[in-house]
Amino acid sequence: MNIFLKRQVQNFAILLVVIIGFGNLFAALPLKFAKAFERVYINVLDPNVVITHGVLSFMLGLLMLLLAYSLYQRVRNAWFVEVIVLVATLVLQVVRLHRFTVPIVMVELFVLVVLLVSYKDFLRLSNRVTLKWAFIFIGVSFALLLANASFGLYIMRAQINDVHTIYNALLGSINLLIFMDTSVLDIKNNLGQIYADSLIIINWICIFASVVLLMKPLVFDYIHDKHDKEKVRNIVLKYGQNPMSYLSLENDKRYFFSKKSEAVCSYTIVGKVLVCCGDIICDRKDGFIFLTELIEFAKQNGWDILLLNVTNYFLDLYQVAQFGILKYGEDACFKLSEYNLSGGKVAKVRAAINHANRKGIFVKEYQPLILRDLAIEKEIMEISENWLQNKKNPEMRFMLGSIGLENPLDRRYFYAKNSDDQMLGFVVFLPYLNGSSYLAEVTRRKSDAPQGVMEKIIYEAFQIMKEEGVQFVNMGLSPLYNIDSESGFNEKLFAYIYDNMNEAFDFKALHHAKEKYAPTDWESRYLAYYPKPFSLHYAHAIIKAQNPGKLSKVILNQLKSENEKKDHQEIKN
């Protein structure tokens, strides 16, 4: 069965669990004692067991509603408990035949069959810590409640006919807490009734607190230390073929390590989506095994998977693993052995560099691991702060790197100064493909910097790296660029966003800024998502991962810009 269809059938069965739960709660309502509803209840319930059935209905109904959400999260314990509850309700329906027995049994059987057939999909583990405490809580709370109830009933034996000794009180407490029904005690007055009801309420609180703990899913909120960072760094430097791989070392990333090979995935969580930064990072021969581990990990936590900005390298493995694939844009790549400033395509860059040369601007590389210079670092940070203040939209995160001066590692820093020794701008490069290639990740300049500063930094860095034997330099993604709008609905949507939401995301301006350098290659980048199809929660995850807490601001900026355009157009007309 198709994964999407299978999931929808499961979700429909879970919806039926909710309906069954509400049905049981309705059966437990005190409406049964009203004359207007008397006939309805007589058709369903045996009047002789109406009170007991009400208690059981209430318990099963509330339990089913509680289980439904955990079933939707694919929690294994919820599946196990729900199967037991359904078997119990089926037995009760068969034992107590009534007018609606057949349709109710058919619905419950359908749910039970769906759960049994799809048991492999309910893999999300419960947290071992909370699982342990759930059983401890159940045992301790029931023991204390039983002791309290026995002692309390013995003290109040004057209000209860059947209690004369501590032994009678103990038996009465056991019956009360198991059957959840005060009718098991021969209560004389209101005081005894209030006490018995309070014991039942406390017992319910204990039961449902235990169930909540029992159903709490296992979520890995990875806290990484220096050892983990160094482990990730080694894997990235060895296997990181994606220009985004080095971003795994940023502090906003969580890590999932393979248990079977040297492999890692850096990710964040948005809602119910595991958003991965670029490709999985591992040796190609271990790719499918690690991908299987990642899928299993996501299923255990009830997450879908979205890999942002992936290359062609693992694309066939993603397709074999039933991932959906969508083109996401293209990377501007430069083969340094072929790149130069000749030709009309690069005329603007050539003119800008000539202007910078006339201004006496020069470029240097800062190497903090060789010789630390706090004055240079101060200028870099001041330029960065100035750049961020002048940026009209919030800075995109997760798929962007930081300056990283607090821990430079393998980053390379190139900066430009004028004849007065004032820094005008800088570029931070990140390595990939075993250091044979670099990504120009952070590019910032002063707001009043003369024309040609960034062009000169980038070109001079290209020349230095070329002499060192570096093969490629990547200037990053042009999001949603060159997407075939005729391929399908999702491609049409991406093309529409590219053409109509530039005020919010600057897609076209970003592309033109890269295009003017005349890249030797434009390499396609993709989204890989599991399971299919692509839906709104994936789109939300793409935006939210890169704009944590800023989504409303982005939307408001876009709406404001659209209103300003309309006002301007009206004035013009």
Two structure tokens written together for 188: 């004389």
The pLDDT tens digits of the residues spanning 537-553 come to 898 898 888 876 555 55
Q: Residue 21 — pLDDT band, cuts 50, 70, 90?
A: confident
The pLDDT tens digits of the residues spanning 68-122 come to 877 887 777 778 888 888 887 787 777 666 666 788 888 889 989 998 988 877 7
Indicate whether 30 pLDDT > 60: no
pLDDT at 323: 96
pLDDT at 526: 95
The pLDDT tens digits of the residues spanning 284-328 come to 999 999 999 999 888 877 889 999 999 999 999 999 999 999 999
The answer for residues whose C-beta is within 8 angstroms of residue 269's C-beta and 6 or more apart is 254, 275, 303
Indicate whether 52 pLDDT > 60: no
CA–CA dist 98, 43 (Å, integer): 6
SS3 of 14-72: HHHHHHHHHHHHHHHCHHHHCHHHHHHHHHHCCHHHHHHHHHHHHHHHHHHHHHHHHHH
Percent of the chain whose predicted confidence (pLDDT) is above 70:
71
Nearest to 405 by CA among 434, 432, 376: 376
pLDDT at 473: 97
The answer for residues whose C-beta is within 8 angstroms of residue 421's C-beta and 6 or more apart is none
Q: Residue 452 — pLDDT band, cuts 50, 70, 90?
A: very high
> b/e string for 301-332 if b means 16 or more Cβ within 10 A?
bbbbbbbbbbbeebbebbeebebbbbbbbbbb
7 three-class SS: helix
Residue 92 CB neighbour total at 10 angstroms: 13
Indicate whether 51 pLDDT > 50: no
* Residue 182: half-sphere exposure toward Cβ, Cα within 13 Å: 17
CA–CA dist 324, 526 (Å, integer): 10
Q: Kindly list the domain boundaries of the chain, sorted by start residue.
A: 3-215, 332-527
The arrangement of secondary structure in 332-527, i.e. its CATH architecture, is 3-Layer(aba) Sandwich (3.40)
Two structure tokens written together for 84: 């037991």
What Å distances lie between residue 309 and 399, 422, 479, CA to CA? Answer: 9, 37, 9
The pLDDT tens digits of the residues spanning 479-526 come to 888 887 667 778 877 877 777 765 556 788 888 899 999 999 999 999
Please state the rounded mean pLDDT for residues 2-28: 80
